[in-house]
Amino acid sequence: MAMHEKPLAFRAWYATMAVHGRVLDRVSDELERETGLPAAWFEVLGCLQGTDGRKRMSELASELLLSRGGATRLVARMEEAGHVEREIPRDDRRATFAVITPKGQDALERAMPIAIAAVETHFGSQLEESELQVLAQIMGKVLGVLDPGCAAAVDTAPDAAGVSPPLPPPPS
């Protein structure tokens, strides 16, 4: 059973996986080479930035698709490097928050334009504005079902006012 005989959804998914891996490799390499920041660290900092610079360990884990143990170790390394600090709230000392430090803020601000440029180079520049628009809409729609919380954070809604319009008719 060759690929072109498989259902459309599978082919679309498979191509998405293939693109994801290839773009991510290139963008991660470029990000780390230019800024010294591993992609995972960039993700953590960006994720914290969203919510006022602080987030529970377990929230971090679920947003980044890590196990709790994985999050613990990742944050531990970043704390070592001074990009985040751990903070235990007085009212519930079971929880731990990861908090971005000024050094982490700085690193993120330095890295963001590099990341944006790398994504543009290795991904965005291959596509028309209209294609990016449709893609953002499609992925936003799926994310809204799979993980509404994350979807809200990612927020792929069109810039302009109003709700997302439906997709135009298929090509041909």
Partner DNA sequence: CAAGATTGACTGGTCAATCTTG
Partner DNA sequence: CAAGATTGACCAGTCAATCTTG
**Contacts of its own copies in 11-40 (CB under 8 A):** 11-26
Rule CB under 7 A: is residue 115 a binding residue for DNA?
Answer: no
Closer Cβ to DNA, 53 or 70, answer by number = 70
Closer Cβ to its own copies, 90 or 145, answer by number = 145
Length of the chain: 172
Question: Could you tell which of its own copies, DNA, none binds residue 141, using a CB distance below 5 to 8 A set by kind?
Answer: its own copies
SS3 for 40? helix
Report the amino acid identity of residue 20.
H
109-128 positions binding its own copies, by CB under 8 A: 112, 115-116, 119-120, 122-128
The contact pattern for DNA, residues 36-75, with x = CB under 7 A and - = no contact, is: --x-x---------------xxx------xxxxxxxxxxx
Adjacent-strand bridge partners of 54: 99
- Cβ distance 84 to 44 under 8 Å? yes
Residue 8 tokens read as 């459309």
- Cβ distance 35 to 106 under 8 Å? no
Q: How many residues bind its own copies (CB under 8 A)?
A: 76
Residue 97 tokens read as 């928050």
* Phi/psi at 148 (5° precision): -55, -35
Closer Cβ to its own copies, 58 or 126, answer by number = 126
Residue whose pair of structure tokens reads 């290839």 in the numeric block:
22
The residues that touch DNA, with contacts defined as CB under 7 A, are 38, 40, 56-58, 65-77, 86, 91-97
